[in-house]
Amino acid sequence: MATKAQIRREQLREKLVEAAEIRIDQHGLSDLRARDLAKDAGCALGAIYNVFEDLNAIVMAVNGRTFKRLGQAVGTSFDGSEPPMQRLIVMSTAYLHFADKNTNLWRALFDLQMPNDGSVPDWYRSALKDLFSFIAEPVSELFPELDRVEMDLMTRALFSSVHGIVTLGLENRISGVPPEQIERMIAQVLSRIGNK
Amino acid sequence: MATKAQIRREQLREKLVEAAEIRIDQHGLSDLRARDLAKDAGCALGAIYNVFEDLNAIVMAVNGRTFKRLGQAVGTSFDGSEPPMQRLIVMSTAYLHFADKNTNLWRALFDLQMPNDGSVPDWYRSALKDLFSFIAEPVSELFPELDRVEMDLMTRALFSSVHGIVTLGLENRISGVPPEQIERMIAQVLSRIGNK
């Protein structure tokens, strides 16, 4: 059974992650301050470091939740009856809309400084694997001639391409365009890739 | 004729931009501090703001130089005799190698906070236009059936796709892979798009 102290720790962790999620959503990752989170969660600044190693660890936890929601958005966007290329386009469009509606949280997935030793947490890799497995299925239907290594490269290349179109498209720097045009770019690129 | 004061201002601007370029290259944009630049340039902290509006304006100037070097790297990578798809792949590979060798400076092109009013400096738009015109030429040869608007979308979509593959490929988060594999991903995607 969990002790009172354990329950309190768990509650504080939860409060801090929720506070960080709200702040990142509203103001972006770069404006996140431990001091503000302590205030939001009603704890002393030092208490944060009793339950999290550092601010990055809190952002990691937020990213875990964002990944889960992203996975749900992409995973429920198709019904499985679509031809594989159509399914890729539908999922990519869901990815775009998720990024458009949760821009700051989605950006934090990619902007968070990763551990310097190059190690990436297991849950992060596993969340990515889930996301990639949605893509891998239609890719394997589309390109049955590819071996496992090439299929894996193709899956990552397609995700990266769509990610690039969404990222630059949502920013007013390279190709700041309305989401409908971003959708068209995605469809243009993917349908030509699938059009063998 | 420039006055002595004008010449001194110009020299200080130049020194600050060079110092910022070296610091961004070595430590990344997020570690850039005005205090360090003042030290590097041998001026008082306040003197910076006599010649630049803020730190962002210095980074903008650095980005201008980086864009120019990037344009040269991409523009000299092909000789014009290649079939259009091959030319796109050669240019994309040059883009990848530039990003790989100048990762922090290249990242600053995309990480710099842009003016809040959504305005982007003319020189920035013009440097981008130059870069895009390299891509637009083979794209128009490959897809003569596209009208101007669709051609423009396709050009931006292809750049964004390659950018996404390069960005995620160079980071150990989504698909941290050696540059040779990133090259293969680029070729895989582009050659299928051109393979009508």
B13-42 confidence digits (pLDDT tens): 999 999 999 999 999 998 899 999 999 999
Sorted by sequence, the CB contacts under 8 Å of residue A114 that are 6+ apart come out as A120, B171, B172, B173
Taking an 8 Å cut-off on Cβ atoms, the answer to whether B160 and A172 are in contact is no
The size of the A-B interface in CB pairs under 8 A is 116
Cα→Cα distances A90→A84, A139, B2, Å: 10, 14, 60
Say how far apart CA B66 and CA B44 lie, in whole Å. 26
User: End-to-end CA distance of chain A, in Å?
Assistant: 59
pLDDT per 10-residue tile (average), chain B, 196 residues: 88 97 95 95 95 92 92 93 93 95 93 67 80 90 91 91 91 66 90 77
Contact indicator for B188, A154 with CB cutoff of 8 Å: yes
Taking an 8 Å cut-off on Cβ atoms, the answer to whether B174 and A160 are in contact is yes
Q: Report which of residues A147 and A114 the model is more confident about.
A: A147
| CA-closest candidate to residue A51, choices A103, A13, A106 | A13
Say how far apart CA B24 and CA B31 lie, in whole Å. 8
| pLDDT (0 to 100) of residue B138 | 93
Contact indicator for A165, B161 with CB cutoff of 8 Å: yes
Which residues of A fall within a CB distance of 8 Å from B110?
A: 173
Interface test with A, best of B110, B172, B192, B196 (most A CBs within 10 A): B192
User: End-to-end CA distance of chain B, in Å?
Assistant: 59
ipTM of this complex prediction, to 2 decimal places: 0.86
Mean pLDDT value across chain A: 89
Taking an 8 Å cut-off on Cβ atoms, the answer to whether A167 and B168 are in contact is no
pLDDT of A118 over the 80 cut: no
Taking an 8 Å cut-off on Cβ atoms, the answer to whether A189 and B184 are in contact is no
Contact indicator for A62, A16 with CB cutoff of 8 Å: no
- Contact residues, chain A to chain B, C-beta under 8 Å: 110, 114, 118, 120, 124, 128, 150, 153-154, 156-165, 167-169, 171-177, 181, 184-186, 188-189, 192-193, 195-196
Q: Place A174 in a pLDDT band, splitting at 50, 70 and 90.
A: low
pLDDT of A5 over the 80 cut: yes
State percent of chain A over pLDDT 70.
Answer: 93
Domains of chain A: 1-52 (1.10.10.60), 54-194 (1.10.357.10)
A20-77 confidence digits (pLDDT tens): 999 999 999 988 999 999 999 999 999 999 999 999 999 999 998 999 999 999 999 9
Interface test with B, best of A174, A182, A188, A190 (most B CBs within 10 A): A174
Q: pTM for this one?
A: 0.89
Say how far apart CA A162 and CA A187 lie, in whole Å. 10
- CA B133 vs. chain centroid, Å, equals 14
